[in-house]
Structure 1
Amino acid sequence: MEGGVMRVRPFLLSLVLGLVMASGPADAGMDEVPPESLGPGAVERTWERAHFYVPANANPLGTGVLGGPRDLVSVARALDGLAKGLPRPVVVYLHGCGGFGNSGSTNAGMLAEAGFVVVAPDSFARPSRVRTCDSKTHSRAGPKGIYKNVIAWRLEELDRALIGLKDFSWVDWNNIFLFGHSQGSNAVASYPGRAFKGRIMSGTRCSTGYRGPAEEPALAVYSENDPWRKGRPIKCLDYVGTTGMQVLGLTGNLHVVAKDPAAKARMLEFLERLITR
Protein backbone atom coordinates (compact mmCIF):
# COMPACT_ATOMS: atom_id res chain seq x y z
CA MET A 1 0.00 0.00 0.00
CA GLU A 2 1.21 3.49 -0.80
CA GLY A 3 -0.25 6.44 1.04
CA GLY A 4 -3.06 4.26 2.37
CA VAL A 5 -4.24 3.34 -1.14
CA MET A 6 -4.02 -0.20 -2.51
CA ARG A 7 -1.98 -0.34 -5.74
CA VAL A 8 -3.95 -1.24 -8.86
CA ARG A 9 -2.12 -3.27 -11.49
CA PRO A 10 -2.28 -1.36 -14.80
CA PHE A 11 -4.71 -2.61 -17.44
CA LEU A 12 -1.93 -2.86 -20.02
CA LEU A 13 0.01 -5.26 -17.80
CA SER A 14 -2.94 -7.62 -17.87
CA LEU A 15 -3.03 -7.38 -21.64
CA VAL A 16 0.63 -8.36 -21.72
CA LEU A 17 -0.10 -11.23 -19.35
CA GLY A 18 -2.87 -12.32 -21.68
CA LEU A 19 -0.48 -12.38 -24.59
CA VAL A 20 2.07 -14.36 -22.61
CA MET A 21 -0.51 -16.88 -21.44
CA ALA A 22 -1.85 -17.17 -24.98
CA SER A 23 1.50 -18.01 -26.51
CA GLY A 24 2.72 -21.44 -27.53
CA PRO A 25 0.38 -24.39 -27.03
CA ALA A 26 -2.31 -22.12 -25.55
CA ASP A 27 -2.93 -20.80 -29.09
CA ALA A 28 -4.76 -24.05 -29.82
CA GLY A 29 -8.39 -23.34 -30.57
CA MET A 30 -7.99 -19.57 -30.96
CA ASP A 31 -8.83 -19.82 -34.65
CA GLU A 32 -12.35 -20.75 -33.52
CA VAL A 33 -12.75 -17.60 -31.42
CA PRO A 34 -14.67 -14.78 -33.15
CA PRO A 35 -12.30 -11.79 -33.44
CA GLU A 36 -15.00 -9.41 -32.27
CA SER A 37 -14.87 -11.01 -28.81
CA LEU A 38 -11.24 -9.93 -28.38
CA GLY A 39 -9.53 -6.57 -27.95
CA PRO A 40 -10.12 -3.40 -25.90
CA GLY A 41 -13.62 -2.78 -27.27
CA ALA A 42 -14.81 -6.21 -26.18
CA VAL A 43 -13.24 -5.76 -22.74
CA GLU A 44 -14.96 -2.38 -22.39
CA ARG A 45 -18.35 -4.01 -22.84
CA THR A 46 -17.71 -6.30 -19.86
CA TRP A 47 -17.46 -3.19 -17.69
CA GLU A 48 -20.35 -1.34 -19.31
CA ARG A 49 -22.61 -4.31 -18.59
CA ALA A 50 -21.23 -5.18 -15.17
CA HIS A 51 -23.60 -6.24 -12.41
CA PHE A 52 -23.66 -4.20 -9.22
CA TYR A 53 -25.14 -5.30 -5.89
CA VAL A 54 -25.63 -2.83 -3.05
CA PRO A 55 -26.56 -3.40 0.61
CA ALA A 56 -30.11 -2.80 1.78
CA ASN A 57 -29.17 0.47 3.46
CA ALA A 58 -28.02 1.82 0.09
CA ASN A 59 -31.17 0.82 -1.78
CA PRO A 60 -33.26 3.96 -2.44
CA LEU A 61 -36.34 1.79 -2.96
CA GLY A 62 -36.13 0.36 0.55
CA THR A 63 -36.67 -3.19 -0.69
CA GLY A 64 -33.56 -4.87 0.71
CA VAL A 65 -30.43 -5.81 -1.19
CA LEU A 66 -30.53 -4.43 -4.71
CA GLY A 67 -28.67 -5.92 -7.64
CA GLY A 68 -28.59 -6.02 -11.40
CA PRO A 69 -26.87 -4.60 -14.48
CA ARG A 70 -25.42 -1.16 -13.87
CA ASP A 71 -27.70 0.46 -16.48
CA LEU A 72 -30.81 -0.68 -14.60
CA VAL A 73 -32.49 2.54 -13.43
CA SER A 74 -32.77 1.47 -9.80
CA VAL A 75 -29.14 0.30 -9.69
CA ALA A 76 -27.87 3.50 -11.33
CA ARG A 77 -29.86 5.52 -8.81
CA ALA A 78 -28.41 3.53 -5.92
CA LEU A 79 -24.86 4.06 -7.20
CA ASP A 80 -25.47 7.80 -7.43
CA GLY A 81 -26.73 7.74 -3.85
CA LEU A 82 -23.60 6.03 -2.59
CA ALA A 83 -21.59 9.13 -3.50
CA LYS A 84 -23.39 11.05 -0.75
CA GLY A 85 -22.21 8.73 2.02
CA LEU A 86 -19.04 7.31 3.50
CA PRO A 87 -16.65 5.06 1.54
CA ARG A 88 -17.89 1.49 1.20
CA PRO A 89 -16.01 -1.82 1.24
CA VAL A 90 -16.09 -3.40 -2.20
CA VAL A 91 -15.85 -6.94 -3.56
CA VAL A 92 -14.98 -7.46 -7.21
CA TYR A 93 -16.72 -10.67 -8.25
CA LEU A 94 -15.73 -12.91 -11.17
CA HIS A 95 -18.52 -15.24 -12.26
CA GLY A 96 -18.31 -18.85 -13.40
CA CYS A 97 -18.01 -20.32 -16.88
CA GLY A 98 -21.74 -20.07 -17.55
CA GLY A 99 -22.04 -16.38 -16.73
CA PHE A 100 -23.35 -14.44 -13.74
CA GLY A 101 -26.60 -16.39 -13.43
CA ASN A 102 -28.00 -17.94 -10.27
CA SER A 103 -24.58 -18.59 -8.73
CA GLY A 104 -23.71 -14.93 -9.16
CA SER A 105 -26.97 -13.85 -7.56
CA THR A 106 -26.33 -16.16 -4.60
CA ASN A 107 -22.74 -15.07 -4.05
CA ALA A 108 -23.25 -11.36 -4.71
CA GLY A 109 -26.41 -11.34 -2.61
CA MET A 110 -24.54 -12.93 0.30
CA LEU A 111 -21.81 -10.30 0.09
CA ALA A 112 -24.22 -7.37 -0.23
CA GLU A 113 -26.20 -8.61 2.76
CA ALA A 114 -22.94 -8.45 4.71
CA GLY A 115 -22.48 -4.78 3.78
CA PHE A 116 -20.26 -4.96 0.70
CA VAL A 117 -20.88 -3.29 -2.64
CA VAL A 118 -20.32 -6.01 -5.23
CA VAL A 119 -19.03 -5.26 -8.72
CA ALA A 120 -19.14 -8.09 -11.28
CA PRO A 121 -17.84 -7.57 -14.81
CA ASP A 122 -19.83 -9.61 -17.33
CA SER A 123 -17.52 -11.75 -19.46
CA PHE A 124 -20.41 -12.67 -21.73
CA ALA A 125 -20.87 -9.04 -22.70
CA ARG A 126 -17.99 -9.70 -25.10
CA PRO A 127 -19.55 -9.99 -28.57
CA SER A 128 -19.86 -13.64 -29.66
CA ARG A 129 -18.10 -14.82 -26.48
CA VAL A 130 -17.49 -18.57 -26.77
CA ARG A 131 -18.93 -20.89 -24.14
CA THR A 132 -16.32 -23.05 -22.48
CA CYS A 133 -18.34 -25.41 -20.30
CA ASP A 134 -21.30 -27.77 -20.38
CA SER A 135 -23.39 -27.54 -17.21
CA LYS A 136 -25.22 -30.78 -18.03
CA THR A 137 -22.07 -32.89 -18.12
CA HIS A 138 -20.05 -30.70 -15.73
CA SER A 139 -17.18 -30.55 -18.18
CA ARG A 140 -15.28 -28.15 -20.40
CA ALA A 141 -16.63 -27.34 -23.85
CA GLY A 142 -15.83 -25.10 -26.78
CA PRO A 143 -12.53 -24.85 -28.65
CA LYS A 144 -10.01 -27.37 -27.35
CA GLY A 145 -6.98 -25.98 -25.53
CA ILE A 146 -8.45 -22.52 -25.03
CA TYR A 147 -8.73 -22.43 -21.23
CA LYS A 148 -5.54 -20.44 -20.55
CA ASN A 149 -6.69 -17.84 -23.03
CA VAL A 150 -10.04 -17.59 -21.27
CA ILE A 151 -8.32 -16.97 -17.94
CA ALA A 152 -6.30 -14.21 -19.63
CA TRP A 153 -9.57 -12.65 -20.84
CA ARG A 154 -10.96 -12.75 -17.32
CA LEU A 155 -7.87 -10.95 -16.03
CA GLU A 156 -8.38 -8.24 -18.66
CA GLU A 157 -11.93 -7.84 -17.37
CA LEU A 158 -10.71 -7.66 -13.79
CA ASP A 159 -8.23 -4.92 -14.63
CA ARG A 160 -10.91 -2.94 -16.47
CA ALA A 161 -13.17 -3.16 -13.42
CA LEU A 162 -10.39 -1.86 -11.18
CA ILE A 163 -9.86 1.10 -13.49
CA GLY A 164 -13.60 1.72 -13.64
CA LEU A 165 -13.91 1.77 -9.87
CA LYS A 166 -11.66 4.83 -9.79
CA ASP A 167 -14.64 6.81 -11.11
CA PHE A 168 -16.64 6.14 -7.94
CA SER A 169 -15.92 8.29 -4.89
CA TRP A 170 -17.59 5.78 -2.57
CA VAL A 171 -14.99 3.03 -3.05
CA ASP A 172 -12.98 2.37 0.10
CA TRP A 173 -9.62 1.44 -1.42
CA ASN A 174 -8.37 0.24 1.95
CA ASN A 175 -11.13 -2.38 1.96
CA ILE A 176 -11.36 -3.90 -1.48
CA PHE A 177 -11.56 -7.67 -1.96
CA LEU A 178 -11.66 -10.22 -4.77
CA PHE A 179 -14.07 -13.17 -5.04
CA GLY A 180 -14.23 -15.70 -7.84
CA HIS A 181 -16.54 -18.65 -8.40
CA SER A 182 -15.70 -21.75 -10.46
CA GLN A 183 -13.95 -20.53 -13.63
CA GLY A 184 -13.78 -17.11 -11.99
CA SER A 185 -11.92 -18.67 -9.08
CA ASN A 186 -9.09 -19.69 -11.41
CA ALA A 187 -8.84 -16.11 -12.66
CA VAL A 188 -8.74 -14.94 -9.04
CA ALA A 189 -6.01 -17.49 -8.29
CA SER A 190 -4.05 -16.34 -11.35
CA TYR A 191 -4.11 -12.63 -10.47
CA PRO A 192 -0.62 -11.65 -9.22
CA GLY A 193 -1.41 -8.03 -8.37
CA ARG A 194 -1.64 -6.35 -4.98
CA ALA A 195 -4.86 -4.40 -5.47
CA PHE A 196 -6.81 -6.47 -2.95
CA LYS A 197 -6.75 -6.96 0.79
CA GLY A 198 -7.79 -10.59 0.44
CA ARG A 199 -9.37 -13.01 -2.02
CA ILE A 200 -11.85 -15.89 -1.95
CA MET A 201 -12.16 -18.75 -4.43
CA SER A 202 -15.37 -20.79 -4.28
CA GLY A 203 -16.28 -24.03 -6.01
CA THR A 204 -12.61 -24.37 -6.81
CA ARG A 205 -9.63 -26.68 -6.79
CA CYS A 206 -7.07 -24.12 -8.06
CA SER A 207 -6.65 -26.18 -11.21
CA THR A 208 -4.41 -23.58 -12.87
CA GLY A 209 -2.27 -22.98 -9.77
CA TYR A 210 -2.01 -19.94 -7.52
CA ARG A 211 -0.10 -16.72 -8.25
CA GLY A 212 -1.37 -14.38 -5.55
CA PRO A 213 1.10 -12.45 -3.39
CA ALA A 214 2.46 -14.81 -0.73
CA GLU A 215 1.49 -12.46 2.10
CA GLU A 216 -2.09 -11.84 0.94
CA PRO A 217 -4.83 -13.75 2.82
CA ALA A 218 -6.71 -16.14 0.55
CA LEU A 219 -9.50 -18.64 1.17
CA ALA A 220 -10.43 -21.53 -1.12
CA VAL A 221 -13.65 -23.47 -0.51
CA TYR A 222 -14.63 -26.71 -2.22
CA SER A 223 -17.00 -29.65 -1.80
CA GLU A 224 -15.63 -33.18 -1.69
CA ASN A 225 -18.19 -34.50 -4.17
CA ASP A 226 -18.65 -31.42 -6.34
CA PRO A 227 -19.68 -32.85 -9.74
CA TRP A 228 -17.32 -30.43 -11.47
CA ARG A 229 -14.38 -31.83 -9.51
CA LYS A 230 -14.68 -35.42 -10.74
CA GLY A 231 -12.33 -36.66 -8.01
CA ARG A 232 -9.40 -34.58 -9.22
CA PRO A 233 -6.90 -33.23 -6.66
CA ILE A 234 -7.42 -29.97 -4.81
CA LYS A 235 -4.31 -28.08 -5.88
CA CYS A 236 -5.12 -25.21 -3.50
CA LEU A 237 -3.73 -27.41 -0.71
CA ASP A 238 -0.27 -27.20 -2.31
CA TYR A 239 -0.09 -23.52 -1.34
CA VAL A 240 -1.04 -23.81 2.33
CA GLY A 241 1.90 -22.80 4.51
CA THR A 242 3.92 -21.12 1.77
CA THR A 243 1.33 -18.42 1.00
CA GLY A 244 -1.62 -16.86 2.80
CA MET A 245 -3.85 -19.66 1.48
CA GLN A 246 -6.49 -21.25 3.71
CA VAL A 247 -8.61 -24.14 2.45
CA LEU A 248 -12.05 -25.24 3.62
CA GLY A 249 -13.28 -28.63 2.41
CA LEU A 250 -16.96 -29.51 2.70
CA THR A 251 -18.72 -32.84 2.62
CA GLY A 252 -21.50 -33.10 0.08
CA ASN A 253 -21.73 -32.06 -3.55
CA LEU A 254 -22.41 -28.33 -3.59
CA HIS A 255 -20.67 -26.33 -6.29
CA VAL A 256 -22.10 -23.02 -5.11
CA VAL A 257 -20.62 -23.43 -1.65
CA ALA A 258 -22.26 -20.24 -0.34
CA LYS A 259 -25.42 -22.35 -0.02
CA ASP A 260 -23.73 -24.24 2.82
CA PRO A 261 -24.26 -22.37 6.13
CA ALA A 262 -20.81 -23.26 7.48
CA ALA A 263 -19.08 -22.18 4.27
CA LYS A 264 -21.07 -18.96 4.13
CA ALA A 265 -20.15 -18.15 7.72
CA ARG A 266 -16.48 -18.93 7.11
CA MET A 267 -16.26 -16.77 4.00
CA LEU A 268 -17.94 -13.80 5.66
CA GLU A 269 -15.80 -14.19 8.77
CA PHE A 270 -12.69 -14.24 6.57
CA LEU A 271 -13.67 -10.90 5.03
CA GLU A 272 -14.82 -9.35 8.29
CA ARG A 273 -11.48 -10.02 9.97
CA LEU A 274 -9.66 -8.18 7.21
CA ILE A 275 -11.78 -5.02 7.13
CA THR A 276 -10.17 -1.89 8.51
CA ARG A 277 -12.71 0.18 10.38
Structure 2
Amino acid sequence: MRWALGVALALALGAGTGARAADELQRTWDAAWVFAPAEGAAGYARLSAAELAEHLAAASPRAVVVYAHGCDGLSEISAATGRFLAQAGVLTVAPDSFARTNKPKSCDPGIPRGGLHRAVLGWRQAEMRFAAERLRALAPDLPLILMGQSEGGITTATIPAIGADGRVIEGWTCHAGWPEYRGLNAPEGQPVLSLVGADDPWFRAPVLHGECGAFMQGPEQRAIVYRAPSHLAGKHWLSSDRDVQKTILDFILTIANDTKKNRGH
Protein backbone atom coordinates (compact mmCIF):
# COMPACT_ATOMS: atom_id res chain seq x y z
CA MET A 1 0.00 0.00 0.00
CA ARG A 2 2.86 2.36 0.82
CA TRP A 3 4.34 2.05 -2.68
CA ALA A 4 0.97 2.87 -4.25
CA LEU A 5 0.63 6.03 -2.17
CA GLY A 6 4.19 6.98 -3.06
CA VAL A 7 3.59 6.59 -6.78
CA ALA A 8 0.34 8.56 -6.58
CA LEU A 9 2.08 11.37 -4.68
CA ALA A 10 4.95 11.47 -7.16
CA LEU A 11 2.52 11.68 -10.05
CA ALA A 12 0.58 14.48 -8.41
CA LEU A 13 3.68 16.51 -7.54
CA GLY A 14 5.56 15.86 -10.79
CA ALA A 15 2.92 15.86 -13.50
CA GLY A 16 0.73 18.44 -11.83
CA THR A 17 -3.05 18.59 -11.85
CA GLY A 18 -5.69 20.37 -13.87
CA ALA A 19 -4.49 23.20 -16.09
CA ARG A 20 -0.83 22.60 -15.29
CA ALA A 21 -1.00 18.95 -16.32
CA ALA A 22 -2.84 19.86 -19.52
CA ASP A 23 -0.22 22.48 -20.35
CA GLU A 24 2.58 19.96 -19.87
CA LEU A 25 0.89 17.44 -22.16
CA GLN A 26 0.28 20.13 -24.75
CA ARG A 27 4.00 20.89 -24.74
CA THR A 28 4.84 17.23 -25.51
CA TRP A 29 2.37 17.31 -28.42
CA ASP A 30 3.51 20.65 -29.80
CA ALA A 31 7.13 19.45 -29.87
CA ALA A 32 6.34 16.06 -31.41
CA TRP A 33 8.33 14.74 -34.33
CA VAL A 34 6.00 13.98 -37.23
CA PHE A 35 6.93 11.84 -40.23
CA ALA A 36 4.40 11.78 -43.07
CA PRO A 37 4.37 9.72 -46.28
CA ALA A 38 5.40 11.88 -49.24
CA GLU A 39 6.34 11.74 -52.88
CA GLY A 40 9.97 12.05 -53.88
CA ALA A 41 13.23 10.25 -53.32
CA ALA A 42 13.08 10.39 -49.52
CA GLY A 43 9.56 8.97 -49.35
CA TYR A 44 8.66 11.01 -46.29
CA ALA A 45 8.29 14.59 -45.07
CA ARG A 46 8.87 16.16 -41.65
CA LEU A 47 5.91 18.11 -40.32
CA SER A 48 5.08 19.91 -37.10
CA ALA A 49 2.12 18.93 -34.95
CA ALA A 50 0.52 22.24 -35.92
CA GLU A 51 0.54 21.16 -39.58
CA LEU A 52 -1.22 17.84 -38.99
CA ALA A 53 -4.81 19.05 -39.36
CA GLU A 54 -4.15 20.57 -42.76
CA HIS A 55 -2.11 17.56 -43.87
CA LEU A 56 -4.73 15.00 -42.84
CA ALA A 57 -7.46 17.01 -44.52
CA ALA A 58 -5.62 16.54 -47.81
CA ALA A 59 -3.94 13.13 -47.38
CA SER A 60 -4.95 9.67 -46.27
CA PRO A 61 -2.06 7.59 -44.92
CA ARG A 62 -2.50 3.83 -44.58
CA ALA A 63 -2.41 4.09 -40.78
CA VAL A 64 -1.33 6.41 -37.99
CA VAL A 65 1.23 5.47 -35.32
CA VAL A 66 1.67 7.16 -31.95
CA TYR A 67 5.32 6.46 -31.15
CA ALA A 68 6.76 6.61 -27.61
CA HIS A 69 10.51 7.23 -27.51
CA GLY A 70 12.99 5.69 -25.09
CA CYS A 71 14.10 7.07 -21.73
CA ASP A 72 16.76 9.32 -23.30
CA GLY A 73 14.24 11.16 -25.46
CA LEU A 74 13.73 11.65 -29.17
CA SER A 75 16.80 10.37 -30.96
CA GLU A 76 18.08 8.71 -34.12
CA ILE A 77 16.06 5.65 -33.07
CA SER A 78 12.89 7.76 -33.17
CA ALA A 79 13.86 9.37 -36.48
CA ALA A 80 14.79 6.09 -38.16
CA THR A 81 11.51 4.55 -37.01
CA GLY A 82 9.51 7.50 -38.31
CA ARG A 83 11.29 7.32 -41.66
CA PHE A 84 10.74 3.62 -42.39
CA LEU A 85 7.11 3.79 -41.29
CA ALA A 86 6.37 6.91 -43.35
CA GLN A 87 8.09 5.45 -46.40
CA ALA A 88 5.60 2.58 -46.18
CA GLY A 89 2.63 4.96 -46.01
CA VAL A 90 2.24 5.16 -42.23
CA LEU A 91 2.03 8.59 -40.58
CA THR A 92 4.08 8.62 -37.36
CA VAL A 93 3.77 11.07 -34.47
CA ALA A 94 6.32 10.90 -31.64
CA PRO A 95 5.51 13.17 -28.66
CA ASP A 96 8.52 14.72 -26.93
CA SER A 97 8.49 13.90 -23.22
CA PHE A 98 11.48 16.19 -22.70
CA ALA A 99 9.43 19.20 -23.83
CA ARG A 100 7.96 19.27 -20.31
CA THR A 101 9.10 22.12 -18.10
CA ASN A 102 10.13 19.59 -15.46
CA LYS A 103 11.47 16.24 -16.70
CA PRO A 104 13.42 14.22 -14.11
CA LYS A 105 16.06 11.82 -15.39
CA SER A 106 14.67 8.29 -15.60
CA CYS A 107 17.70 6.37 -16.89
CA ASP A 108 21.43 6.33 -17.51
CA PRO A 109 21.91 4.94 -21.04
CA GLY A 110 25.67 4.68 -20.64
CA ILE A 111 25.53 1.91 -18.02
CA PRO A 112 22.73 1.01 -19.05
CA ARG A 113 20.38 1.51 -16.10
CA GLY A 114 16.71 2.45 -15.85
CA GLY A 115 14.27 2.92 -13.02
CA LEU A 116 15.58 6.30 -11.81
CA HIS A 117 12.14 7.95 -11.85
CA ARG A 118 9.42 5.44 -11.08
CA ALA A 119 6.51 7.84 -11.70
CA VAL A 120 7.65 8.45 -15.28
CA LEU A 121 5.43 5.61 -16.50
CA GLY A 122 2.28 7.51 -15.63
CA TRP A 123 3.68 10.59 -17.36
CA ARG A 124 4.48 8.64 -20.53
CA GLN A 125 1.05 6.98 -20.59
CA ALA A 126 -0.59 10.40 -20.31
CA GLU A 127 1.49 11.67 -23.23
CA MET A 128 0.54 8.70 -25.40
CA ARG A 129 -3.13 9.00 -24.50
CA PHE A 130 -3.11 12.75 -25.24
CA ALA A 131 -1.54 12.21 -28.66
CA ALA A 132 -3.90 9.34 -29.51
CA GLU A 133 -6.92 11.46 -28.62
CA ARG A 134 -5.65 14.30 -30.81
CA LEU A 135 -5.10 11.98 -33.74
CA ARG A 136 -8.48 10.31 -33.31
CA ALA A 137 -10.08 13.75 -33.49
CA LEU A 138 -8.10 14.66 -36.62
CA ALA A 139 -8.46 11.31 -38.42
CA PRO A 140 -11.25 9.25 -36.83
CA ASP A 141 -11.43 6.71 -39.66
CA LEU A 142 -7.73 5.85 -39.88
CA PRO A 143 -6.30 2.76 -38.15
CA LEU A 144 -4.41 3.88 -35.02
CA ILE A 145 -1.42 1.91 -33.72
CA LEU A 146 0.50 2.45 -30.49
CA MET A 147 4.23 1.77 -30.72
CA GLY A 148 7.18 2.32 -28.41
CA GLN A 149 10.80 1.38 -27.84
CA SER A 150 12.45 0.73 -24.44
CA GLU A 151 10.70 3.01 -21.90
CA GLY A 152 8.28 3.75 -24.72
CA GLY A 153 7.77 0.01 -25.07
CA ILE A 154 6.86 -0.21 -21.38
CA THR A 155 4.40 2.61 -21.95
CA THR A 156 2.86 0.83 -24.94
CA ALA A 157 2.54 -2.44 -23.03
CA THR A 158 1.01 -1.02 -19.86
CA ILE A 159 -1.28 1.77 -21.04
CA PRO A 160 -4.94 0.80 -20.55
CA ALA A 161 -7.17 0.37 -23.58
CA ILE A 162 -7.64 3.73 -25.32
CA GLY A 163 -9.34 2.62 -28.53
CA ALA A 164 -6.22 1.79 -30.52
CA ASP A 165 -6.29 -0.86 -33.22
CA GLY A 166 -2.99 -2.51 -32.23
CA ARG A 167 0.31 -2.24 -30.33
CA VAL A 168 3.98 -2.75 -31.18
CA ILE A 169 6.31 -3.20 -28.18
CA GLU A 170 10.03 -3.03 -28.95
CA GLY A 171 12.80 -3.70 -26.44
CA TRP A 172 10.78 -4.69 -23.38
CA THR A 173 10.12 -7.95 -21.52
CA CYS A 174 6.83 -7.11 -19.73
CA HIS A 175 8.52 -8.34 -16.51
CA ALA A 176 9.45 -6.00 -13.66
CA GLY A 177 9.65 -5.71 -9.90
CA TRP A 178 7.30 -2.73 -9.79
CA PRO A 179 3.77 -4.06 -10.35
CA GLU A 180 2.57 -1.12 -12.46
CA TYR A 181 5.41 -1.83 -14.92
CA ARG A 182 4.63 -5.54 -15.20
CA GLY A 183 2.35 -7.27 -17.69
CA LEU A 184 0.32 -6.32 -20.73
CA ASN A 185 -2.79 -4.13 -20.62
CA ALA A 186 -3.98 -4.89 -24.14
CA PRO A 187 -7.55 -6.12 -24.22
CA GLU A 188 -8.20 -9.64 -25.41
CA GLY A 189 -8.41 -9.71 -29.19
CA GLN A 190 -6.35 -6.55 -29.75
CA PRO A 191 -3.41 -7.30 -32.07
CA VAL A 192 -0.06 -6.99 -30.29
CA LEU A 193 3.48 -7.55 -31.56
CA SER A 194 6.34 -7.61 -29.06
CA LEU A 195 10.03 -7.84 -29.97
CA VAL A 196 12.94 -8.38 -27.57
CA GLY A 197 16.48 -9.71 -27.61
CA ALA A 198 17.05 -12.60 -25.18
CA ASP A 199 20.39 -11.11 -24.12
CA ASP A 200 19.41 -7.42 -24.17
CA PRO A 201 21.86 -5.70 -21.77
CA TRP A 202 19.11 -3.52 -20.31
CA PHE A 203 17.46 -6.59 -18.79
CA ARG A 204 20.29 -8.31 -16.93
CA ALA A 205 18.52 -8.17 -13.56
CA PRO A 206 16.62 -11.42 -12.88
CA VAL A 207 13.41 -9.55 -12.12
CA LEU A 208 13.43 -8.24 -15.72
CA HIS A 209 13.94 -11.63 -17.38
CA GLY A 210 11.15 -12.95 -19.60
CA GLU A 211 9.08 -11.82 -22.54
CA CYS A 212 5.65 -10.34 -23.18
CA GLY A 213 4.28 -13.60 -24.56
CA ALA A 214 3.69 -14.72 -20.97
CA PHE A 215 0.81 -12.22 -20.76
CA MET A 216 -0.70 -12.56 -24.23
CA GLN A 217 -4.19 -13.81 -25.04
CA GLY A 218 -5.19 -15.24 -28.39
CA PRO A 219 -3.62 -15.61 -31.83
CA GLU A 220 -3.78 -11.87 -32.56
CA GLN A 221 -1.01 -11.30 -30.00
CA ARG A 222 2.51 -12.43 -30.91
CA ALA A 223 5.85 -12.30 -29.10
CA ILE A 224 9.18 -12.63 -30.91
CA VAL A 225 12.33 -13.32 -28.89
CA TYR A 226 15.62 -13.11 -30.76
CA ARG A 227 18.04 -15.68 -29.36
CA ALA A 228 21.66 -16.58 -30.10
CA PRO A 229 23.07 -17.15 -32.65
CA SER A 230 20.89 -14.35 -34.04
CA HIS A 231 22.84 -11.08 -34.23
CA LEU A 232 19.79 -9.44 -32.62
CA ALA A 233 19.96 -11.46 -29.40
CA GLY A 234 21.97 -8.80 -27.58
CA LYS A 235 20.42 -5.75 -29.24
CA HIS A 236 18.11 -3.17 -27.67
CA TRP A 237 17.25 -1.25 -30.84
CA LEU A 238 15.90 -4.12 -32.90
CA SER A 239 14.15 -2.18 -35.66
CA SER A 240 17.45 -0.93 -37.04
CA ASP A 241 17.41 -4.32 -38.79
CA ARG A 242 15.56 -4.42 -42.13
CA ASP A 243 14.00 -7.82 -41.43
CA VAL A 244 12.59 -6.51 -38.16
CA GLN A 245 11.26 -3.46 -39.99
CA LYS A 246 9.49 -5.78 -42.41
CA THR A 247 7.97 -7.75 -39.53
CA ILE A 248 6.66 -4.54 -37.97
CA LEU A 249 5.32 -3.20 -41.26
CA ASP A 250 3.60 -6.48 -42.12
CA PHE A 251 1.91 -6.38 -38.71
CA ILE A 252 0.79 -2.74 -38.98
CA LEU A 253 -0.38 -2.96 -42.59
CA THR A 254 -2.35 -6.15 -41.90
CA ILE A 255 -4.16 -4.29 -39.10
CA ALA A 256 -4.69 -1.33 -41.41
CA ASN A 257 -6.21 -3.47 -44.16
CA ASP A 258 -8.41 -5.44 -41.74
CA THR A 259 -9.60 -2.29 -39.97
CA LYS A 260 -10.54 -0.55 -43.20
CA LYS A 261 -12.43 -3.64 -44.40
CA ASN A 262 -14.32 -3.88 -41.10
CA ARG A 263 -15.22 -0.19 -41.30
CA GLY A 264 -16.41 -0.54 -44.89
CA HIS A 265 -13.69 1.58 -46.53
Is TM more than 0.5 here? Answer: yes
Q: Structure 1 length as normaliser, TM-score?
A: 0.77
What secondary structure sits across from 2:152 in the alignment? helix
How far is 1:80 from its partner? Answer: 2.7
Partner of 1:46: 28
Matched-pair contact (CA < 8 Å) for 2:66–2:147? yes
What secondary structure sits across from 2:203 in the alignment? coil
Deviations 1:57-110 (A, max 9, x none): 3x7xx7531236436xxxx3x763442234652111111111111110121112
1:214 lines up with 2:188 in the alignment: yes
Partner of 2:76: 102
Q: Structure 2 length as normaliser, TM-score?
A: 0.80
Distance 1:119 1:159, change over 3 A: same
Give the letter aligned to residue 30 of structure 2.
Answer: E
Structure 1 runs (4+) deviating above 6 angstroms are 28-32
Q: Give the whole-Å Cα distance in 1 for the aligned partners of 2:12 and 2:21.
A: 15
Aligned to 1:83, which of 38, 47, 57? 57
How far is 1:253 from its partner? Answer: 1.9
1:229 lines up with 2:203 in the alignment: yes
1:245 lines up with 2:215 in the alignment: no
How far is 1:211 from its partner? Answer: 0.9
Partner of 1:202: 170
RMSD of Structure 2 on Structure 1 (CA):
2.9
Count of residue correspondences? 242
Q: Give the whole-Å Cα distance in 1 for the aligned partners of 2:255 and 2:136.
A: 21
Kindly indicate which of the two structures has a greater share of residues assigned to helix.
2
Gap regions ≥5 residues in structure 2: 176-180, 261-265
What secondary structure sits across from 1:139 in the alignment? coil
What secondary structure sits across from 1:140 in the alignment? coil
Q: Give the whole-Å Cα distance in 2 for the aligned partners of 1:162 and 1:229.
A: 29
Select the structure with the greater relative contact order (CA < 8 A; seq sep ≥ 6).
Answer: 1
Q: Give the whole-Å Cα distance in 2 for the aligned partners of 1:255 and 1:84.
A: 37
Give the letter aligned to residue 125 of structure 2.
Answer: L
